[in-house]
């Protein structure tokens, strides 16, 4: 489980990188359609904005290094990413 959180930690230090999966899912949605794929694009875009706000210290006060919120954000985002990737590559559902 630590490998999963460590791999997602790149988005904490470089929040603009969340635009990569957001744009990827947006292109996949444009090509194949699908509600789940559109939700994944939107979720990644919102996560990038949220993480950018934390990075710029606009959405946190005090110590922003203790990120309990990520325990609740990463698993649903990962599940949605896997599901949307599978559905998006298989075509419209």
Is residue 47 within 8 A of residue 11, CB to CB? The reply is yes
Task: Say whether pLDDT at 5 is over 60.
Answer: no
pTM, 2 dp = 0.84
> Binning pLDDT at 50, 70 and 90, where does residue 92 land?
low
Q: With left for phi above 0 and alpha for psi between -120 and 50, is residue 32 left, alpha or beta?
A: alpha
The predicted-structure confidence for 45-85, as pLDDT tens digits, reads as follows 999 999 999 888 888 877 777 788 888 888 999 999 999 98
The CA distance from 84 to 93, in Å, is 10
Give the pLDDT score at 13: 82
The CA distance from 62 to 64, in Å, is 6
User: Among 6-15, 19-28, 35-44, which stretch is predicted with the lowest mean pLDDT?
Assistant: 6-15
């Amino acid at each position: 489980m630590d490998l999963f959180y460590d791999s997602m930690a790149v988005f904490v230090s470089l929040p603009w990188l969340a635009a990569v999966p957001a744009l990827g899912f947006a292109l996949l949605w444009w090509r194949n359609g699908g509600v789940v794929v559109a939700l994944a694009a939107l979720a990644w875009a919102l996560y990038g904005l949220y993480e950018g706000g934390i990075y710029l210290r606009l959405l946190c006060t005090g110590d922003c290094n203790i990120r309990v919120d990520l325990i609740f954000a990463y698993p649903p985002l990962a599940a949605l990413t896997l599901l949307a990737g599978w559905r998006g590559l298989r075509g419209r559902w």
